[in-house]
């Protein structure tokens, strides 16, 4: 454990620890609330941007630009709709997205640092799960109630029970937030650990931790990542495996439409949720939310309430991929998707071309976790910690897509000569390969 903290930059360690810090520890100045992770981002985002702009071992890349553009656009749109209060609100969104992304992007520059950071993430999940266990056993929000009694703070929503068990929130603002934190990086945490025993330990801990939230979205995320991992393992040598898989999924989708009296989305909701009503309500959110989006396509509705039927009392929109364009317009969605596609392309390209097995595995694990969290974003709104965690995760992809560059300070002639077996010597271009050597 100490080795992981020693190898991880201070900015990354503080960011991860801030993710599991309760909201009651926020700094409040007037109408401005600075949660622990926002404080960390405020301190380190100037340093992170400076590192990206000036250090020789990292550089701004094409996929970084959309994230900077997204932060500027979000701040502008909210200010356009609501003036000063909108500027503060949009700035908070931008701080969480750009701050989390740039800190992860600038401070994690190689696989060793990435592995160490992921170990700290795993340790933080263990701590959060222990507190969640107290929630489940006591039937109350243990740490939140304790802190509110000591220093005050806003009250939590009433404790919910499913299958006779309390939905634990641990140190987070909602059980879904806690479950999302535990489940988001399952595949990446598995694939980044070379030891098989430790892989299974991580898997058991993450699954048990996520179960304490009693929320279908995190469990669906875990299921998707496990399915991706099984698919990856058993189709690795199959030619055009992605195209074949997509064809099968399209065929299944069309088959459900033909033989079922319910849509594929309704059928999935009935099978994959604890409470089918919540899933059907999310479908209604998408239906009426899209109507609002088409009516305010370019600049969104800002902080205003959205139009919906009277029976939909709650203003909550449980879908990040709908909230983003609905609040800040379609350009925000396009900027984010451009950044995700570009960085994902970089991760895949680097993973395929690398001869380092660990890098290939981590590239695959990152992509599996990315696909899962993107799918979950259709039924869960990322706000507060999950919002920052999402962009932090995207920033982690930089260590795979754009690894650390080290300047050659010592000339080749001055380097000590090491005797090597002929099979490890790369032949000069155009010369015959030594006997027994393998192509590099």
Average pLDDT, the chain: 85
Which residue in this structure is represented by tokens 């981590």?
Answer: 362
> Among 43-52, 336-345, 420-429, which stretch is predicted with the lowest mean pLDDT?
420-429
The parent domain of residue 9 ranges over: 2-404
Domain assignment present for residue 90? The answer is: yes
pLDDT tens, position by position, 184-225: 999 999 999 999 999 999 999 999 999 999 888 899 899 999
Compute CA 386 distance to the chain's CA centroid, rounded to the nearest angstrom: 8
Q: What pLDDT sits at residue 275?
A: 61
The β-bridge relationship of strands 27-29 and 161-162 is unpaired
Domain assignment present for residue 425? The answer is: no
Residue 127: pLDDT band with limits 50, 70, 90? very high
Q: How many CB atoms lie within 10 A of CB 380?
A: 26
> Among 58-62, 168-172, 431-435, which stretch is predicted with the lowest mean pLDDT?
431-435
Domain assignment present for residue 269? The answer is: yes
Regarding predicted confidence, which is higher, 282 or 336?
Answer: 336
pTM for this structure? Answer: 0.87
pLDDT tens, position by position, 148-183: 888 877 778 788 888 778 899 999 999 999 999 999
SS3 per-residue string spanning 281-312: HHHHHHHHHHHHHHHCCCCCCCCCCCCCCCCC
Residue 263: pLDDT band with limits 50, 70, 90? low
Q: What pLDDT sits at residue 371?
A: 94
Mean predicted confidence (pLDDT) in 356-383: 91
- The answer to whether residue 397 scores a pLDDT higher than 70 is yes
The β-bridge relationship of strands 165-166 and 27-29 is unpaired
Domain assignment present for residue 81? The answer is: yes
pLDDT tens, position by position, 321-332: 999 999 999 999
Domain assignment present for residue 85? The answer is: yes
- The answer to whether residue 416 scores a pLDDT higher than 60 is no
Q: What pLDDT sits at residue 58?
A: 78
pLDDT tens, position by position, 227-249: 999 999 999 888 888 888 889 88
Of 227, 141, 125, the closest CA to residue 183 belongs to 125
Q: What pLDDT sits at residue 389?
A: 96
Domain assignment present for residue 412? The answer is: no
Domain assignment present for residue 427? The answer is: no
* DSSP code per residue over 228-257: HHHHHHHSTTSTTHHHHHHHHHHHHHHHHH
Q: What pLDDT sits at residue 60?
A: 84
- The answer to whether residue 38 scores a pLDDT higher than 90 is yes
Mean predicted confidence (pLDDT) in 347-354: 89
Regarding predicted confidence, which is higher, 196 or 313?
Answer: 196
* CA distance linking residue 50 with residue 134, whole number of Å: 42
> Of the segments 16-20, 253-257, 309-313, 420-424, which one has the largest average pLDDT value?
16-20
Domain assignment present for residue 431? The answer is: no
Query: What are the CB-based long-range contacts (under 8 Å, 24+) for 17-21?
Result: 17/120, 17/124, 19/124, 19/181, 19/385, 19/388, 19/389, 19/392, 20/124, 20/127, 20/128, 20/170, 20/171, 20/172, 20/181, 21/171
Residue 436: pLDDT band with limits 50, 70, 90? very low
Regarding predicted confidence, which is higher, 364 or 250?
Answer: 364
Q: What pLDDT sits at residue 28?
A: 82
Q: What pLDDT sits at residue 149?
A: 87
Give the count of domains, the chain.
Answer: 1
Q: What pLDDT sits at residue 260?
A: 64
Token representation of residue 92: 């908070």
Q: What pLDDT sits at residue 426?
A: 42
């Amino acid at each position: 454990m100490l080795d992981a903290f020693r190898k991880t930059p201070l900015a990354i360690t503080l960011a991860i620890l801030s993710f599991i810090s309760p909201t009651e520890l926020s700094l409040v100045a007037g109408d401005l609330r600075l949660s622990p992770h926002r404080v960390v981002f405020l301190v380190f985002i100037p340093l992170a941007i400076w590192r990206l702009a000036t250090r020789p071992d990292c550089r701004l890349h094409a996929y970084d630009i959309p994230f900077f553009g997204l932060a500027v656009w979000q701040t502008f749109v909210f200010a356009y709709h609501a003036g000063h209060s909108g500027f503060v609100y949009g700035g908070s969104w931008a701080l969480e997205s750009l701050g989390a992304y740039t800190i992860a992007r600038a401070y994690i520059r190689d696989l060793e640092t990435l592995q160490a950071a992921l170990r700290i993430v795993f340790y933080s999940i263990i701590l959060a799960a222990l507190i969640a266990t107290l929630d489940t056993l006591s039937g109350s929000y243990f740490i939140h109630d304790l802190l509110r009694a000591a220093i005050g703070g806003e009250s939590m929503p009433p404790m919910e029970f499913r299958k006779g068990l309390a939905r634990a929130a641990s140190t987070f603002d909602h059980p879904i937030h806690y479950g999302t934190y535990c489940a988001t990086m399952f595949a990446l945490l598995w694939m980044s650990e070379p030891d098989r025993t430790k892989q299974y330990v991580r898997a058991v801990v993450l699954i048990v931790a996520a179960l304490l939230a009693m929320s279908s979205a995190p469990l669906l995320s875990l299921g998707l990542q496990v399915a991706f991992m099984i698919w990856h393992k058993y189709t690795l040598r199959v030619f055009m495996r992605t195209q074949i898989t997509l064809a099968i999924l399209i065929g299944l989708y069309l088959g459900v439409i033909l033989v079922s009296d319910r849509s594929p989305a309704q059928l999935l909701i009935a099978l994959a949720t604890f409470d089918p009503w919540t899933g059907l309500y999310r479908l209604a959110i998408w239906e009426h939310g899209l109507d609002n989006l088409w009516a305010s396509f370019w600049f969104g509705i800002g902080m205003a309430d959205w139009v919906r039927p009277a029976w939909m009392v709650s203003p909550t929109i449980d879908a990040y991929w709908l909230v983003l364009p609905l609040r800040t317009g379609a350009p925000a969605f396009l900027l984010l998707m451009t950044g995700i596609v570009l960085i994902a392309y970089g991760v895949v390209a680097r993973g395929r071309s690398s001869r380092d097995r660990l890098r290939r595995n981590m590239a695959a694990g990152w992509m599996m976790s990315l696909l899962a969290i993107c799918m979950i974003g259709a039924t869960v709104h990322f706000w507060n910690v999950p919002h920052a965690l999402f962009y932090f995760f995207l920033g982690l992809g930089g260590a795979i897509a754009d690894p650390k560059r080290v300047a050659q300070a010592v000339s080749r002639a001055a380097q000590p000569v090491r005797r090597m077996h002929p099979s490890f010597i790369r032949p000069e271009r155009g010369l015959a390969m030594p006997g027994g050597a393998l192509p590099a």
